[in-house]
Amino acid sequence: MKRFILPLIGVLAALGAAVSIARTYPRRQSTDPPAPPPVSDFPNTVAAVGLVEASTENISIGTPLSGVVAKVFVTAGQMVRAGDPLFELDMRHLRADLKVNQQALAVARARVEVAQAHVDDLKRQLEFAERIEDKRAISAEEVSHRRSVVETASAELDESRAQVDAAESQVGAVKTEIDRSTVRAPIDAEVLQVKLRAGEFATAAPTATPMILLGRSKPLHVRVDVDEHEAWRVGRDATAMGHLRGNADMKTPLRFVRFEPFVVPKKSLTGDSTERVDTRVLQVIYRVERDDLPLFVGQQLDVFIEARPERGGQVTLPSLQ
């Protein structure tokens, strides 16, 4: 029996090894991504990234005057009509100016009355002198003098009237300034962003971040960046589909609106200004057809555009070595 021990151990060892190998051999099981990535609905497609924007494009509201903001009338998300005030600047100095100018106007008007009275007085004197027919009582020179005095006074009356006009214009100018200190909505739109609070300084110059952003959010548009290498594949009126990030099943058909005729350098959508540009993109504007999606202006969409088929096998690969 002894001589069977070693073969028996051998059999056991072989069995053990077989089990061990089968158990530990690395297996790679294919998995699906946790959230489904966007999948194109078209057999031939150009993929692109789109930025949702208002159908009026996003209007970054500017102010005609620089100054400290006194009051902001709107909050983000609010609908405004054309002409509704958005914010007003501090205008105490303008109101003071107005008062000064109004006083000046009153003074000018009073001056007109004074001048008028003066003219009337002189005219009466002239009339009186002219009515006297006895040449000995009044000399011809005296009459002529009184006549020219009346003319001078009349001219002074005209001047003071002109000064009233000038003062009125001054008042009007200050009123315009006051009016310009209140910034109003240019169109009916939704307030998309308010980056301005009472007490902050509003500059009458382009700013990096808009003070107030307006735009009509129904319907929404998508500005789709297409790599210039692929741009030729996108036809006019090509249909497209936009997929929401994070849930690619939420998608909306897109209707072609227009091409931006000017091809622009690709802007990194992360907004990092230090990125250097090495690609230019054709921008295509699409309209979002579904309005029941949780979609907001400024959001990114994965877009698939139905495309012309790729030319076959023409590109040669740069070799590795």
Partner 1 sequence: MNFVALRMLTGDRAKYFGLVFAIAFCTFLLENQTSIFANILRRTASQILDVTDAEVWVMDPTTEYWEQTKPLKDTDLLRVRGVPGVRWAVRLYKGNPVARTETGKFAAAFLIGLDDATLAGAPRKMLLGSWERLQEPDSVVIDKAGYELLFPNEPLDLGRRLEMNDHRVIIVGISDASAPFVSLPVMHARYSEAVNFLGHERTELSFIIARAAPGLSPAELTARIQTQTGLRARTTEEFMWDCINYYLRHTGIPVNFGITIAVALLVGTVVAGQTFYLFTVENLKQFGALKAMGVTNTRLMGMILLQAFSVGTLGFSLGTGMAAAFFEITLRKMATRGIVLMWQCVGLTGACIFLVVIVASVLSIRRVFVLEPAAVFRG
Size of the site for partner 1 (CB under 8 A): 65
250 binds partner 1 (CB under 8 A): no
Query: In angstroms, rounded to a whole number, what is the distance separating the alpha carbons of residues 247 and 37?
Result: 8
Nearer to partner 1, 31 or 75 (CB): 31
C-alpha distance from residue 101 to each of 90, 162, 168 (Å): 19, 15, 8
Nearer to partner 1, 261 or 318 (CB): 318
DSSP conformational letter for 269: T
Q: What share of the chain is helix, strand, coil (3-state, %, to 5)?
A: 35, 25, 40
Which 279-298 positions form the footprint of partner 1 (CB under 8 A)? 279, 281
Q: Which residue has the tokens 């789709």?
A: 224
Vertex 215: Cα angle to 53 and 268 (nearest 5)? 30
The window from 163-171, 196-204, 267-275, 286-294 that contacts partner 1 (CB under 8 A) reads: 267-275
Nearer to partner 1, 40 or 55 (CB): 40
The window from 102-110, 114-122, 255-263, 269-277 that contacts partner 1 (CB under 8 A) reads: 269-277
Candidates 84, 90, 188, 230; binder of partner 1 (CB under 8 A) is 230
Q: 156: Cβ–Cβ under 8 A, 6 or more apart, which residues?
A: 115, 118, 119
Q: Which residue has the tokens 């849930």?
A: 247
271 binds partner 1 (CB under 8 A): no
Q: Please report the DSSP string for 233-247 in residue order.
A: GPPTT--EEEEETTE
Q: Which amino acid is at 194?
A: V
Rg (CA), the chain: 41
Candidates 206, 246, 261, 294; binder of partner 1 (CB under 8 A) is 246
Least separation in angstroms between residue 60's CB and partner 1 is: 25
Query: In angstroms, rounded to a whole number, what is the distance separating the alpha carbons of residues 70 and 181?
Result: 10
138 binds partner 1 (CB under 8 A): no
Q: Where are the alpha helices (H) located in the chain, listed in sequence order? A: 5-24, 92-131, 140-180
Length of the chain: 321
245 binds partner 1 (CB under 8 A): yes
Q: Which of 63, 20, 93, 52 is nearest to 210 (CA)?
A: 63
48 binds partner 1 (CB under 8 A): yes
17 binds partner 1 (CB under 8 A): yes
Nearer to partner 1, 133 or 262 (CB): 262
Q: Which amino acid is at 52?
A: V
Candidates 140, 274, 292, 294; binder of partner 1 (CB under 8 A) is 274
38 binds partner 1 (CB under 8 A): yes
Least separation in angstroms between residue 243's CB and partner 1 is: 9
238 binds partner 1 (CB under 8 A): no
DSSP-assigned beta bridge partners for residue 285: 223, 258
Mark 170-209 with x for binding to partner 1 (rule: CB under 8 A) and - for no binding: ----------------------------------------
Q: Which of 228, 234, 229 is nearest to 309 (CA)?
A: 234
Could you list the residues that contact partner 1 (CB under 8 A)?
A: 3, 6-7, 9-14, 16-17, 20-21, 24-26, 28-40, 43-49, 225-227, 229-230, 233, 245-246, 248, 266, 268, 270, 272, 274-276, 278-279, 281, 304, 307, 309-310, 312-313, 315, 317-318, 320
